[in-house]
């Protein structure tokens, strides 16, 4: 692991004293204000290396504070603590002293192994009733844990939950990296959510965004210094600082690297999260977000990604570390000793598009992409990829959910149900770690957005569709003892009929009774009363699931 700074930043306890320390290398002076200072402005001492610190007695949780930074030209800036774990309001209110204590009630949870993981992607703000007066919260999501457990989910992937400058948002424009959105329930709400998920046998992983910081955050020109009109000490101050969404952090600056690594440490240690999904690693390591583009590569980012994963596994060896990357490169999941980043898995971004091509939802029908995805693996490991038929990205950004694409305006008619169930059946029987986007199991319509709550009435209205997903997940996890092959590493396509849209593939682990599984899929629009194909193994085969 590369060098990390040793200073404790933010607020730390030292017996009866509380220490405040902040990095502001170009400040002329720094003072502490807020209720911690009893209405005064308390000068902080320079440590002569860009850091400023102050120790106070009798500081209590719930008190607030801000830093008053006098810039080199005499301007006074009011700044929140970059490591504040709670804010009075999410739109740049004051930083709050937290109560570090939390009763984990004996929690000693470990997630299921990769081959048994079923991920459910969840946006907390939409996870409540359509008639609710407020956006969804962690408590709203807790009410659905029994439903998710019964469905078969054992990993929840939370879309980003850090403080947002606006009431709604996907969460991918991070405003304060260490503070949990108050509207969701804040720090305590997330702690409670993780604890209760663990009690149900459900792991919790979190999307984190390190490819850019929002332009509305206090980090922008934090201590008044910048070059070329750019972001200052936390950002690249040349063209490397440009992204479509905000300034790119300066991954080469040790203090910024520590800022990000400390964030990783907080999520995995204090919140006991079971892993992280790192957003758009492509845009971290390339200024244009391109692959195979050495002219625009950012080597500092690759080393930081290696450090992130190494640190995560040091804190929690069972941590599920996932990259969202466009390169489809085996080096993302290769060990660091082989120059890889050592992520446990990466999003298989081509999988949902291959399914749509197989269903003919993007023009002419083709099975080539589906076959490619079935046979694709990284470093010889089928479980180094996350597979899905829909995600927050494929169901938005000008697109819609798969069932909406199948039957626009009537996304729960028989055609939409057939197409959606077929796609989900392929996903849940394919090699890789399957992920469901919230609501796809009950035919939520339209596109994903951050302001339209899930229509939970559909889970009852289409309970048969939900039940089909439960049955598929049961088969995936071999709960009946006759589909062990779906947990195995091996896959072989034994039949591909492009004219009729029929595909057959074989999944197995060791290959024996109760292990070998054949999946036969009709992507076409015609039923076949008589259709012949040769199976790769002799024997009498039992139908375990039929979606018709």
Q: Taking the alpha carbons of 126, 127, 133, 138 in that order, is the dihedral positive or negative?
A: negative
Please give the share of the chain, as a percent, with pLDDT higher than 70.
98
Per CATH, 10-96 and 114-349+381-393+434-476 having the same topology is answered no
CATH of 114-349+381-393+434-476, one of 3.20.20.80, 3.30.530.20, 3.40.50.1820, 2.60.120.10: 3.20.20.80
| Three-state DSSP state, 323 | strand
In degrees and rounded to multiples of 5, residue 399 shows phi and psi of -110, -175
Q: What is the pLDDT of residue 2?
A: 46
Six-digit token string for 102: 């939390």
pLDDT at 5 over 70: no
Tell whether the model's pLDDT for residue 166 goes beyond 90: no
Tokens of 545: 């699931």
Which tokens hold the place of 292?
């195979």
Distance between CA 514 and CA 528 in Å, rounded? 28
**What does the pLDDT average to over 410-438?**
97
Per-residue pLDDT band at 157 (split at 50, 70, 90)? very high
Polymer length in residues for the chain = 548
**Whether pLDDT at 297 is above 50:** yes
| Contact criterion met (CB below 8 Å) for 508 and 485 | yes
Nearest to 487, CA basis, from 113, 116, 110, 119: 116
pLDDT at 293: 87
10-96 is classed CATH 2.30.110.10: no
Query: For residue 304, what are the contacts with CB-CB under 8 A and spacing of at least 6?
Result: 210, 251, 257, 260, 284
* Residues 51-55, mean pLDDT to the nearest whole number: 97
Give the DSSP H or E segment for 76: strand 76-79
pLDDT of residue 3: 45
pLDDT at 298: 95
pTM above 0.85, yes or no: yes
Tell me the backbone φ, ψ of residue 46, rounded to 5 degrees.
-75, 135
Gap between the Cα atoms of 405 and 434, Å rounded: 21
**What is the spatial distance between Cα 403 and Cα 419, in angstroms, rounded to a whole number?**
7
DSSP state of 266: I
pLDDT of amino acid 92: 72
Q: Any idea where the domains of the chain sit in the sequence?
A: 10-96, 114-349+381-393+434-476
In tens, the pLDDT along 238-251 reads 999 999 999 999 99
* Residue 452: pLDDT over 80: yes
Query: How would DSSP label each residue in 92-103?
Result: T--EE-------
**68 pLDDT exceeds 70?**
yes
Averaged pLDDT, 111-124: 98
Report the C-alpha gap between 83 and 198 in whole angstroms.
26
Position 8 pLDDT exceeds 90: no
Give the tens place of pLDDT for each residue, 471-480: 999 999 999 9
Q: What is the mean pLDDT of residues 474-492?
A: 97
- 396 CB burial (10 A radius; 0-12, 13-18, 19+): middle
H-only helix segments in 286-394: 299-315, 351-359, 368-375
- Cross-strand partners of 435: 119, 388
Q: What percent of the chain has pLDDT over 90?
A: 87
Cα–Cα distance for residue pair 424/471, rounded to 1 Å:
12
Per residue in 75-97, pLDDT (tens digit) is: 999 999 999 999 998 777 899 99
The average confidence (pLDDT) of the chain is 94
Q: Please give the average per-residue pLDDT across 326-341, as a whole number.
A: 94
Q: What is the pLDDT of residue 1?
A: 43
**pLDDT value at 234 more than 80:** yes
**Which two tokens mark 52?**
């400023």
Residues 417, 186: Cα–Cα separation, whole Å: 37
In whole angstroms, what is the distance from residue 436 CA to residue 181 CA? 24
Quote the CA–CA distance of 465 and 414 in Å, as a whole number: 11
């Amino acid at each position: 692991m590369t060098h990390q700074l040793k200073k404790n930043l933010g607020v730390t306890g030292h017996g009866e004293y509380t220490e405040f320390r902040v990095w502001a290398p170009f400040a002329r002076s720094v003072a502490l204000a807020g209720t911690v200072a009893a209405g005064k402005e308390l000068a902080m001492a320079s440590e002569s290396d860009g850091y400023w610190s102050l120790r106070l007695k009798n500081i209590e949780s719930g008190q607030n504070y801000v830093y008053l930074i006098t810039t080199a030209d005499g301007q006074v800036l009011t700044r929140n603590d970059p490591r504040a774990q709670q804010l009075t309001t999410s739109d740049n209110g004051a930083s709050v002293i937290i109560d570090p204590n939390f009763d984990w009630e004996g929690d000693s949870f470990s997630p299921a192994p990769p081959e048994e993981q079923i991920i459910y992607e969840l946006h907390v703000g939409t996870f409540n009733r359509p008639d609710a007066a407020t956006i969804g919260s962690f408590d709203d999501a807790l009410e659905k844990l029994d439903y998710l457990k019964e469905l078969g989910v054992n990993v929840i992937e939370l879309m980003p939950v850090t403080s947002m400058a606006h009431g709604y948002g996907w969460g991918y424009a991070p405003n304060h990296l260490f503070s949990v959105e108050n509207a969701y329930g804040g720090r305590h709400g997330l702690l409670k959510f993780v604890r209760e998920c663990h009690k149900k046998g459900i792991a919790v992983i979190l999307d984190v965004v390190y490819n850019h910081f929002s332009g509305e955050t206090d980090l922008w020109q934090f201590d008044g210094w910048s070059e070329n009109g750019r972001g200052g000490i936390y950002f690249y101050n040349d063209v490397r600082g440009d992204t479509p969404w905000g300034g790119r952090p300066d991954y080469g600056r040790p203090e910024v690297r520590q800022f990000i690594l400390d964030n990783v440490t907080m999520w995995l240690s204090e919140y006991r999260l079971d892993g992280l999904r790192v957003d758009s690693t492509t845009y971290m390591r390339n200024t244009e977000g391109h692959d195979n583009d050495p002219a625009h590569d950012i080597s500092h980012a690759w080393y930081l990604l290696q450090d992130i994963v190494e640190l995560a596994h040091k804190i929690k060896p069972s941590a599920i570390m996932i990259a969202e990357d466009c390169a489809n490169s085996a080096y993302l999941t290769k060990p660091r000793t082989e120059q890889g980043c050592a992520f446990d898995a990466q999003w298989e971004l081509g999988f949902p598009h291959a399914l749509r091509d197989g269903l003919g939802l993007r023009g002419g029908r083709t099975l080539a992409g589906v076959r490619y995805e079935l046979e694709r693996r990284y470093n010889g490991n089928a479980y180094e990829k996350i597979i899905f038929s829909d995600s927050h990205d494929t169901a938005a950004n000008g697109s819609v959910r798969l069932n909406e694409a199948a039957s626009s305006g009537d996304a729960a008619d028989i055609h939409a149900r057939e197409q959606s169930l077929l796609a989900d059946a392929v996903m849940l029987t394919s090699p890789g770690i399957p992920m469901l986007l919230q609501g796809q199991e009950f035919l939520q319509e339209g596109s994903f957005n951050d302001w339209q709550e899930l229509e939970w009435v559909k889970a009852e209205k289409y309970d048969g569709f939900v039940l089909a997903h439960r049955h598929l997940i049961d088969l995936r996890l071999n709960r009946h003892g006759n589909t062990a092959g779906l947990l195995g590493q091996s896959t072989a396509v034994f039949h591909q009929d492009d004219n009729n849209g029929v595909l057959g593939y074989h999944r197995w682990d060791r290959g024996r009774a109760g292990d070998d599984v054949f999946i036969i899929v009709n992507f076409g629009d015609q039923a076949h009363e008589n259709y012949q194909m040769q199976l790769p193994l002799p024997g009498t085969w039992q139908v375990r699931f039929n979606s018709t």
